């Protein structure tokens, strides 16, 4: 049984821009840490020393706040804000560790 590769959040947001809304699948993916925008960048955050708990929950207040906010803007179809947050998350995941 083959498993379909998950759609990236960049693609999801770009498609939502065309429709001016997210799909039910997008909303469902945004609700789970493993498939949200933070979870998508998890390996980058781990490389910086960030810790994650069971279920993919970040152990960092800033990542939790960004993830919850991203979920909210997807849920409410705030596509422009989701695009802005996605870029914020991407840039944060690429920053050099400060320790």
Span 43-99, pLDDT tens digits: 999 999 999 998 899 999 999 999 999 999 999 999 999 999 999 999 999 987 665
* Structural domain contains residue 58: yes
Q: What does pTM read for this prediction?
A: 0.89
Query: Is the residue at 34 inside a domain?
Result: yes
The answer to whether residue 4 sits within a structural domain is no
CA dist list (Å): 47 to 1, 39, 42, 86 = 31, 13, 9, 19
Query: In this structure, is residue 3 part of a structural domain?
Result: no
Q: How many domains does the chain have?
A: 1
The reply to whether 72 falls in a domain is yes
Q: Is residue 1 part of a domain?
A: no
Specify whether the CB–CB gap between 58 and 93 falls below 8 A.
no
């Amino acid at each position: 049984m083959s498993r379909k590769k998950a759609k990236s959040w960049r693609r999801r947001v770009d498609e939502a821009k065309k429709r001016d809304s997210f799909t039910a699948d997008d909303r469902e993916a945004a609700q789970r840490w493993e498939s949200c925008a933070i979870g998508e960048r998890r390996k980058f955050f781990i490389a910086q020393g960030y810790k994650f708990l069971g279920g993919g929950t970040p152990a960092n207040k800033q990542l939790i706040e960004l993830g919850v906010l991203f979920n909210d803007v997807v849920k409410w179809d705030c596509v422009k804000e989701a695009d802005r947050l996605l870029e914020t998350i991407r840039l944060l995941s690429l920053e050099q560790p400060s320790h």
